[in-house]
């Protein structure tokens, strides 16, 4: 899994590519978010457009990311989650926790 970071205004966009699964995937996301928090960058848009699979560890890491950012006054929004991700969030009742967007400009405006 690869994570590319870009800044749009006051928001950090994390473009994730690859499987967000137990092992390297969930660790990379954790490390990226921890580094952002240390830098005081706590408004994060997680772009999932190129993520074909999220397992329970990956979902747990997304929840951890939300919690970590919330604790320091930040926000996490999810961008371009596919149908499987929507279904996973619905089944786990996490759909009410996350703000999901299909359009990047709308997500950025909402911050």
The residue behind tokens 């660790």 is 27
Q: How confident is the model at residue 110 (pLDDT cuts 50, 70, 90)?
A: very high
Ordered strands of the 75-79 beta sheet: 2-8, 11-17, 43-50, 75-79, 99-101
Q: Is the pTM value of this prediction over 0.85?
A: yes
* Residue 67: per-residue pLDDT: 97
Domain count, the chain: 1
Domain that holds residue 18: 2-110
CATH number (domain holding residue 73): 3.30.750.24
* Residue 24: per-residue pLDDT: 77
Give tens-digit pLDDT for 14-31. 999 999 999 877 899 999
What phi and psi values does residue 103 have, to the nearest 5 degrees?
A: -120, 125
* Residue 26: per-residue pLDDT: 84
CA distances (Å), 12 to each of 38, 71, 86, 91, 99, in order?
13, 17, 22, 28, 16
Assigned token pair, 65: 């990311």
* Residue 15: per-residue pLDDT: 98
* Residue 82: per-residue pLDDT: 94
Give tens-digit pLDDT for 44-88. 999 999 999 999 999 999 999 999 999 999 999 999 999 999 999
Query: Burial code of 48-64, b = ≥16 C-beta within 10 A, e = fewer?
Result: beebeebbeebbebbee
């Amino acid at each position: 899994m690869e994570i590319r970071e870009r800044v749009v205004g006051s928001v950090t966009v994390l473009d994730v590519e690859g499987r967000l699964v137990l092992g390297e995937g969930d660790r990379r996301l954790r490390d990226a978010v921890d580094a952002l928090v240390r830098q005081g960058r706590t408004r994060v848009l997680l772009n999932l457009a190129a993520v074909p699979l999220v397992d329970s560890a990956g979902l747990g890491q997304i929840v951890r990311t939300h919690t970590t950012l919330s604790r320091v006054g930040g926000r996490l929004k999810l961008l371009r989650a596919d149908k499987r991700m929507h279904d996973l969030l619905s089944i786990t009742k996490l759909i009410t926790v996350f703000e999901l967007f299909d359009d990047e400009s709308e997500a950025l405006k909402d911050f």
